[in-house]
Structure 1
Amino acid sequence: MISRYWSCRVKPGEEENYVNYLKVEILPHLATLKGFRGASIRRRDDGDFPEYIFISEWTSREAIKAFAGKEIHLAVVSEKAQKMMRSFDQEVRHYELIHSA
């Protein structure tokens, strides 16, 4: 199992729109992809722009490649989402699951 971590800062007043966008458009799309095993959205209030972390779970790097393309370390961020953001990570971090209890 591979976890894919990515974060962004959302503009004031766009928080609800951003979370709804993820729930209504992004998560249902990801659920159709082979090798996708789920995701979580986390928020941290930090200054003027809340930070959101999106963690997706995949069966393998090959499954991620089918979604993100050959350069799996690059973020996949739609133009629609970018309009709601103050900033976002250009690259993602991948972590391999070693143990879960």
Structure 2
Amino acid sequence: MIDRIWHGWTTPANADEYERRLREEILPSFADEGIDGYRGARVLRRSDGEEVEFVTIIRFDSVASVKEFAGEEYRNAHVPPAAREVLKRFDDRAKHYEVREEREF
């Protein structure tokens, strides 16, 4: 299992709109792409007063599934136009981690 982790920041005024777009447009469009091995996403949100940070964690079965999603240059950020319109800044690259242990309580 691979977690693809990416950070984006927006203004407090645009934070709710960005979150809405994530929930209603962007994440559903990822699911609609029919990528074999796409296992869903988690979104984290944190305000520091001047900016609101979003961390998106997208789960895939393998690096091959990540490449199907993002292309051969899979480490590059995959930021749809709807996200770019409301983000203040974002990481140019995503980080990928092997999930080694997971527990639910």
TM-score for both structures, normalised by structure 1: 0.93
Given the alignment of the two structures, is residue 15 of structure 1 paired with residue 15 of structure 2, yes or no? yes
Match of 1:25? 25
Q: How many residue pairs get matched?
A: 101
Aligned AA (1:24): E
Gaps of 5+ in 1: none
TM-score for both structures, normalised by structure 2: 0.89
Deviation by residue 1:50-92 (Cα, 9 ceiling, x = unmatched): 1100001000111110110001110011222112011100000
- Please report the RMSD computed on the Cα atoms of aligned residues, expressed in angstroms: 1.1
Aligned identity (percent) is: 36
C-alpha separation between the residues in 2 aligned to 1:20 and 1:85? 13
Q: Secondary structure at the match of 1:55?
A: strand
Q: Is the 8 A contact 2:12 2:49 kept in 1?
A: no
Given the alignment of the two structures, is residue 63 of structure 1 paired with residue 62 of structure 2, yes or no? no
C-alpha separation between the residues in 2 aligned to 1:21 and 1:49? 18
C-alpha separation between the residues in 2 aligned to 1:70 and 1:19? 28
Match of 2:50? 48
C-alpha separation between the residues in 2 aligned to 1:10 and 1:23? 16
Match of 1:88? 90
Runs of 4+ aligned residues of structure 1 deviating over 2 Å after TM superposition are none
Deviation by residue 1:27-54 (Cα, 9 ceiling, x = unmatched): 2122232211111110111230111000
C-alpha separation between the residues in 2 aligned to 1:70 and 1:89? 18
